[in-house]
Structure 1
């Protein structure tokens, strides 16, 4: 039975697995955009040509969440987004329009600030909680006072001050005692109920009499409390007993208070007495005693960086990491997700922050195996009934068969039966491991590659000189990242480094050859290693026989650099660390000791990623402002764009290994939208003019600069960032309506306020400098003041207008390259029209889909009537953004027509010849006679400023085609024109660019049967 079922489900899944998405459209769901709103958008998305809706997380999140990454309950939908019926209606509408549904999954962490029942239980019961193992908590941390406790750094001041101000209050409701701190409700340890209720009990005895039934019930409750297992008890039977009996106690106490006014008054009096009186410090002793016996230790929020003992998402205290490597935790976190997958409501998953997981490789395999088993279970129950007792044995056999085929064979197609993409940031030459059972990443690598094509490499030297002269110094990016990673480890993530250092010290004590390494020297070695580490993380585990060669290379390179940088440090310390990370264990170690070393290596891997992200993306990217269009997630600002050869190489690699990876250009996390970056890249085409402009603007605005004791405000670096921000995000068009321009003013001011704090140079989130923040805000306001700064505003407007058209061409060009490249085209909400957004929350503003749907309908009507006339109008009115919507729709529909080609077609890089051969990019996609060819110009500013425009500039420039293309006929997907390749002067087959660019600024051809 099991083997037959395995074969049937295998065949079914492999058949559907080939239909990976062709395109996705990302929607951010929250209380302002619910399931019902998403459902209303589906017909528009279907008409646009989108194949899959791609939704942000929508399990129950912290109330008011605008992103959903702070899930508090894996078992329920987010009520702010909609009901189960609303969700079902959305899924049904997607099916009716033949759209798939990719949903964002957050397996690394949960929101813990409010309404998380699992975390609440941990706070109430400590190590004895049913869910103690769910969270990554160090119950025996370095600080002895935190043993068997969780540090909660939620207080606005030092604990004693907060306590004696009366801000911490004991509260009682429904049979349970709580500690209230503003909107935080924290459980009192159940055994401490007795401390509250036993004080002053004599008065109640005198009032009721010793034999009164209600007094007897209260005394019985106190006895039950005394017999509760300790909160440090971890024996399973005792844990279950404690969990059961504490709830019985609460119910009994609630019923007693409800039925007895005397007991209710007694409890209220005790609560009031415990809460103390501000101005009388001794009156808070009882509350202090109660808190000292809880499973958490309240602390000032500034303590978090050094002493917090639960793993977080980066340095966010309100997001606690979960141990999804534990099968029970995995099941709890994914139960609803697999319900939706089994029902067909969800067809694919986007996995958030896999680098935070203990063992990502094993996690992805478990996802795919569980998907297989869930589909098999559904089929088994359909054939035999849900109550058939044979399922347990069948499931065991199915799991065995799956492991034999897919678990052991990295090439097995069953490893990718479920469509999965991962939010993996790839720095430098970093690649995702080939053994991962996923289809690819969410596309940041592509975003940086395609944008880098439009960066003129010859401008690197003059733009670098301009930046250095403006600052009066010459920052080195590599050194900056190294320093900022160290800074993060000293501050926001000091506790994580302390934990690793003490663990490494304990391991060193296992061997007489390493026991003399001091704790401080080991900590320094760790900090140096992590600061120098060139990528986000490695993926060493204990179940694969060989380490990934790239992981070995990263570790050995870093160790070598660390030794060279620390000549006076005992090199054997770095050798010791290297041996642990590379699983080179001394022969005399037993299995337990080897397991501890492996665990350390895998825990270290969970730290390198967050340190890199905080030091690089969230700090250095806000400081190194040479050309901020390069400062994107996954970007490499130290490299000035990329070559066409590198772009083709990455496309070829994706076609060969990850053909269903996402292709993105804007996301909810990008620092600047695709269109802002496209415009800023034009600065590389006129570096000398840019130098003159920023110098002139600085002179005009010098009177707005405030001189503080700490220096000028804004600093020259922050001022340089502001000018790029203004130029890049200034609304499209010659004349911007006053209301829109006022909104732009506020957006820029808000952006600068955030950017300054992220940079952590003169101000920060944890140590804000109000004087500096205020001075910069005033500077921005003065720059936008038409009365004070009319000359400045006019000059910026004119310069923006000069580069705007070239920026639009860049944006449309990178869109065509995205549409034709190997992978799954992703569109972030609203970006089908011009989107000049900055970092969140600016990029999460509402999107008007009614306008977009009407525009698309009108464009289709115009195209049906006269496609070439439509293209002419779109080119002459590019400011309105209709050209971008048109190109996207036609490109997505092409993907629908040529689904097999775009899912599995070959990639062919095409060379160009002629005077502007370096100012264009071209490639073709091929499959079984079908051909799609894309070609886009770049570095177009000079061409657009000359008479004749692109067509004149590209005269004599050709795409060199394979000989086989000589007899083909193509149709221009955008203009509708028939195109036939020609014979060039040397006899080869070529495609002249000038005639095609005379009708439209980009080229997308489909082989025609005509």
Structure 2
């Protein structure tokens, strides 16, 4: 297997194509990157900026440059000895427009479509109006209103010979069994003759070629005679007259889709989607024919040597992640002699392992992002910050409460259809036995809600219908929470559900009072029962995962503001800090089980840039001071608050409600955001720069308010409140405040900026030198003060970064740290070390080192050893107190370290070391101690290697 030394993620779209990337391959190579790592390359919805809404798995995106462009990029990479890893999306496809041929075929032919089993559609919905149909919740208003307004109409596509129902950009094909009646409605001899071609056509697969022949004749007729004849038929279905509108309605009702208001999706959707996005339909990649269709393109590109590895998006959305990974590995291994590099996007809870029976190289790095982020935080700041948050906002000091409330809200408002489908699967199992058939759907649904609400991780992974010991670690927590929440009357049902969801191989547990006795002679056959159980387990897992994502990351993390640097994808805000020992333990675990996992600190999904989080982490070290600052700013800016009708209010004091904008919680989060993303070189009197910042923060603010789902949300926006919040933001950042709030904000950022930059450099070197494959997100080689998308997907000035690549030590750039060149230089230098000694930082032993002395808690150190080669990494941490408020450079005065030293391995005692990042060559004393005043005399971080390794 060709294991990457390092990867760099690029976001491709029509504004940044494969050819655009090819122009910068020389820069990527000089930086030290071994593999580019792309966003999805398959054809997505037109204009997609991310590529996750694939509409055609078989074609490389033409907007991004097509297959020819991709191969030109790959060829350019090969010239520089580099490789290519591509992101693939096997879980879902885009179905929100008119570009997905598979989905359109389903709408046209229903259950008899060749692709009917490619998507997770429930063709046997309990709703009679949806049996054999697909709900299409695309209308902007209720169906009747849109129909009466003439926005739903019958159309004809001359290029394909198809009739379709059109609504804005949406296309809904009419089934050919209705073509005859449509053509006959014009009462014309020529169309009547064409109608005969469709008489007797059925939806059966054997009839579909006949319909295709008829459509071709229809296409040729229009090509030869023009469209006026067809217009007569379309007028018979005009939405503008009552009689013809009724005929149009009856035609629509006969189709294999049901047009509906978009608000119906959460309650009535009868197909699996990605999270709660009704424009993304779940794909049944567990079916062999679907698996092959979805992967045909990446398999071919891998076989041809264009692609070297795959990143699997949202692995937890799949029915069987384990089996998927095994099948994927097997197929890729068959195609090329070289083993593939495969990583999966997986959110792991604390101490939750990536399963060893998944034949992958690791995760995409969210777990490391969480670990290194938590390491930056001072645990002593947790309680004071929580207390300040509660005093200012009246909200809970604990994240767990927000999380539970958000999960309940998600199940009630965003996922009731998915919840009902999982409950029906359990109800079918209950109905199969005489001893359990009286356990009602409502009771089962109630029990299921509590299990999902209390489920602590994304999902379980049963094998042969049984949960593993690891699964039970988490399922038992959910059971305990559900048992506490439910009445005793529901406990017997809970025992049943526990068994059906993989606790027991028996059909039902032998519960107390006989309520859950084993099934009798009228039980369903074992194979049927086993299939029903596996279906229920899959639906349960495909419910807990999106609920966790939407409730935690996209709701609770926007409600809870103790410290926003811990509210990140893959993080648990209730876990405030990580000790050095815990960080070492996580690195050791990764080195032993998944040594080639990605190490990320920034992604296309992050909510705050890596350097925003690093700066905000400083607040954990000055928690009391930050609390006082928040209160002062709240008082200073009180005159700019808005009533919910948009009018200013003079003073609201400490009102904890939401009867003013932005409200205490949103205001407190806003201040954190401004502190975190304020550019290092921005001055309060730079009106244009401040305005640009305000516009970026306003984008974040709107998304944050709607995701919190408190005063406003995506489903029913409170536009007056949102406008008041925006006005408040622009008022406090107005040019006339440059001697008021802008000045104190800028001064505060200036004060903590050096400590934040030190945190960033620590985070950077740990990512580059820890066990795993360091991954860079586009543009983060310089300071990354981005916010949530689309802010974190802005264009990158690679030419500027290329021009700044140099061979001088990073320490040369520390005094001018605000421009970010010191970060770029650190990345370039450590990646150069990985290039020169690739095994040293990729296949080596990881050895935590002890730091002792007066300031031992303010440093972290470890060694990497491969054979006789060594590297020692030392970094400052929690340095705000040692820096002092007047420091303008992100480095602790060497003399301030005093007796603090690293206990070095005995094998290094007689070796000469030098710092890869500075001119320093610190000595190990006769007691085997490396004093930090020497090791960190030029930089706040050091990577020590032996003399003899070239410095450039």
TM bucket, shorter chain = over 0.9
- 1:56-93 deviation per Cα after TM superposition (whole angstroms, max 9, x unaligned): 01111101100000010011111111032221110001
Matched with 2:376 is 454
Equivalent of residue 388 in structure 2, options 466, 470, 476: 466
Residue 142 of structure 1, CA deviation: 2.0
Are residue 256 (structure 1) and residue 221 (structure 2) matched? yes
Distance 1:473 1:687 in 2: 18
Matched with 1:149 is 133
Distance 1:303 1:661 in 2: 41
Matched with 2:412 is 490
Are residue 807 (structure 1) and residue 761 (structure 2) matched? no
Distance 1:54 1:199 in 2: 55
- 1:636-691 deviation per Cα after TM superposition (whole angstroms, max 9, x unaligned): 11122111111000000011000000000000001101100000001111112111
Matched with 1:963 is 906
Are residue 540 (structure 1) and residue 459 (structure 2) matched? no
Distance 2:64 2:920 in 1: 46
SS in 2 for 1:719: helix
Equivalent of residue 509 in structure 1, options 431, 441, 448: 431
Inter-CA distance 657–191: structure 2 relative to 1 (3 Å threshold): same
**Which deviates more, 185-194 or 44-53?**
185-194
Matched with 1:208 is none
Equivalent of residue 269 in structure 1, options 232, 244, 247: 232
Alignment of 1:706-721 (within 5 A): 706-708=642-644, 711-721=659-669
- 1:6-51 deviation per Cα after TM superposition (whole angstroms, max 9, x unaligned): xxxxxxxxxxx1x311110011001111011110111101001111
Are residue 726 (structure 1) and residue 674 (structure 2) matched? yes
SS in 2 for 1:285: helix
Equivalent of residue 76 in structure 2, options 87, 93, 97: 93
- The answer to whether the 8 A contact 1:957-1:993 is kept is yes
Matched with 1:667 is 603
Consecutive unaligned residues of structure 2, counting only runs of 5 or more, are: 508-517, 646-657
Matched with 1:567 is 487
- The answer to whether the 8 A contact 2:920-2:938 is kept is no
Equivalent of residue 105 in structure 2, options 92, 112, 121: 121
- The answer to whether the 8 A contact 2:752-2:880 is kept is yes
Distance 1:512 1:479 in 2: 40
Alignment of 1:320-331 (within 5 A): 320-331=281-292
Are residue 518 (structure 1) and residue 440 (structure 2) matched? yes
Are residue 775 (structure 1) and residue 734 (structure 2) matched? no
Distance 1:959 1:477 in 2: 37
Residue 963 of structure 1, CA deviation: 1.8
SS in 2 for 1:102: strand
- The answer to whether the 8 A contact 1:950-1:1001 is kept is no
Alignment of 1:625-664 (within 5 A): 625-664=561-600
Matched with 1:140 is 124
- 1:799-846 deviation per Cα after TM superposition (whole angstroms, max 9, x unaligned): 010000010000001111111100000000000001100000000011
Residue 510 of structure 1, CA deviation: 1.2
- The answer to whether the 8 A contact 2:849-2:862 is kept is yes
Distance 2:638 2:716 in 1: 27
Distance 1:322 1:502 in 2: 21
Are residue 882 (structure 1) and residue 795 (structure 2) matched? no
Equivalent of residue 190 in structure 1, options 172, 176, 179: 176
Residue 220 of structure 1, CA deviation: 5.1
- The answer to whether the 8 A contact 1:902-1:925 is kept is yes
SS in 2 for 1:771: helix
**Which deviates more, 600-609 or 291-300?**
600-609
- The answer to whether the 8 A contact 1:960-1:989 is kept is yes
SS in 1 for 2:3: coil
Alignment of 1:4-43 (within 5 A): 17=1, 19-43=2-26
Matched with 1:110 is 93
SS in 1 for 2:198: helix
Distance 1:849 1:64 in 2: 23
Consecutive unaligned residues of structure 1, counting only runs of 5 or more, are: 1-16, 206-214, 231-237, 377-413
- 1:175-216 deviation per Cα after TM superposition (whole angstroms, max 9, x unaligned): 211111111122111111112112242xx24xxxxxxxxx4x
Distance 2:358 2:68 in 1: 35
Matched with 2:54 is 71
SS in 1 for 2:155: strand
**Which deviates more, 945-954 or 21-30?**
945-954
Distance 1:483 1:836 in 2: 31
Distance 2:377 2:266 in 1: 39
Distance 1:595 1:41 in 2: 52
- The answer to whether the 8 A contact 1:136-1:323 is kept is yes
- The answer to whether the 8 A contact 1:142-1:502 is kept is no
SS in 2 for 1:569: helix
Q: Answer 1 or 2: which has greater helix percent.
A: 1
SS in 1 for 2:156: strand
Are residue 929 (structure 1) and residue 929 (structure 2) matched? no
**Which deviates more, 836-845 or 890-899?**
890-899
Alignment of 1:318-397 (within 5 A): 318-375=279-336
Residue 996 of structure 1, CA deviation: 2.6
Distance 2:428 2:524 in 1: 14
Residue 787 of structure 1, CA deviation: 1.6
Matched with 1:164 is 148
Equivalent of residue 841 in structure 1, options 790, 809, 834: 790
Are residue 760 (structure 1) and residue 709 (structure 2) matched? yes
Residue 589 of structure 1, CA deviation: 4.5
